[in-house]
């Protein structure tokens, strides 16, 4: 027998997932490249729609790089008429355990 792949399989289940869970998944699966050069470990993240002030980069527990974001809900005026809200708000994070040779005291972001 042949198995037929259904590209829409499971979409009805996604619709029943609360928006906060979908937002967490969206950031948790943000595309992040990590390369090591002789001088540094370099992380590049695709975080469209985020301002620099909304992204926090820090080292925790000695050698865990944490990239997090916090976005506040848009200010809503009484006369505003929203047609669609797809951008997420709240706090989410990604964490990476750095190798022993990482110089965590020299971490910087730009």
CA dist., res. 27 & res. 55, Å (int): 12
Strand partners, 91: 70
Contact 43, 67 (CB under 8 A): yes
User: Tell me: the pLDDT tens digits for 70-98?
Assistant: 766 767 777 888 787 776 666 778 899 99
Model-wide pTM > 0.75: no
Average pLDDT rounded to a whole number, residues 35-61: 86
Q: Which two tokens stand for residue 88?
A: 């997420």
pLDDT greater than 60 at residue 16: no
| pLDDT at residue 97 in the model | 92
Q: Give the whole-angstrom CA distance, residue 36 versus residue 42.
A: 6
CB 16 within 8 A of CB 10: no
Q: Which domains does the chain have, with CATH numbers?
A: 19-72+89-97 (2.60.40.790)
> For 59-63, 75-79, 91-95, 106-110, which range has the lowest pLDDT when averaged over its residues?
75-79
């Amino acid at each position: 027998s042949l198995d037929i792949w259904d590209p829409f399989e499971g979409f009805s289940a996604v619709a029943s997932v609360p928006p906060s869970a979908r937002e967490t998944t969206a950031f948790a699966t943000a595309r992040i490249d990590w390369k090591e050069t002789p001088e540094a470990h370099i992380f590049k993240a695709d975080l469209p729609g985020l301002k620099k002030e909304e992204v926090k980069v820090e080292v925790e527990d000695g050698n865990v790089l944490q990239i997090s974001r916090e976005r506040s809900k848009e200010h809503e005026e009484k006369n505003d008429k929203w047609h669609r809200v797809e951008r997420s708000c709240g706090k989410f994070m990604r964490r990476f355990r750095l190798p022993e040779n990482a110089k965590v005291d020299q971490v910087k972001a730009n």
